[in-house]
Amino acid sequence: MKNRRGFTIFEAIIALAILAVLLSVGFSAWVQSRQVIRFNDQASAAREMVILALERVRSLPPEALPQPGQPIDFDILPQMKDRLPAGRCDVSVAEVSEPLFKIVRVSVTWKGARHPESGEALVRLSAGAKP
């Protein structure tokens, strides 16, 4: 039998095929993890925006709250615009049976969002406020 040195062409092709499969799986996992990280960052920014909008509404005097069904226009904060592409913050007020309370709903949507982040709070009007 001859003394063989090196690999045959068949062995080299098999090794390259295995390497190609491993590299493609690794690259696919890396791309998917980057997408998940980006979405989680956007969802986190949207949650922050919901909380900020609710706090902003809570700080308004009762007479500044719009009538139920009228939207409140809130802009996405400048520091969050890069985290929420084409972001939009919708705030609405609804009445409840208790005259000194209102329900405030906030929804934040952005480009590429699977579902919007939203929040709801029961806001108590000041004691001297007329409902």
Q: What angle do CA 116, 107, 75 make, to 5 degrees?
A: 115
In the prediction, which pLDDT does 128 show? 46
Which of 17-21, 49-53, 88-92, 118-122 bottoms out in mean pLDDT, i.e. has the lowest?
A: 118-122
Torsion, Cα of 35, 81, 50, 93 (10° steps): -130
Check residue 125 and give its pLDDT.
64
Each residue of 1-28: pLDDT tens digit? 566 677 789 999 999 999 999 999 999 9
- pLDDT at position 54: 84
**pLDDT: is 40 or 26 the higher one?**
26
What's the pLDDT score for residue 121? Answer: 75
8 three-state secondary structure: coil
Grouping H, G, I as helix, E, B as strand and the rest as coil, residue 131 is coil
CA distance 131 to 125: 8
Q: What mean pLDDT value characterizes the chain? A: 81
Confidence of residue 129 (pLDDT cuts 50, 70, 90): very low
pLDDT given for residue 93 in this prediction: 82
Judge contact between 108 and 85, C-beta under 8 A: no
Q: Is the whole-model pTM more than 0.75?
A: no
Listing DSSP states for 64-125 in one string gives GSPPTTPEEEEPPPHHHHTTSTT-EEEEEEEE-SSTTEEEEEEEEE-TT-SS-EEEEEEEEP
pLDDT over 80 (residue 116): no
Cβ atoms 104, 56 nearer than 8 A: no
Query: What pLDDT was estimated at residue 45?
Result: 87
Given strand 71-74, what is the order of strands in its sheet? 71-74, 88-95, 101-109, 117-124
pLDDT at residue 24, rounded to an integer = 97
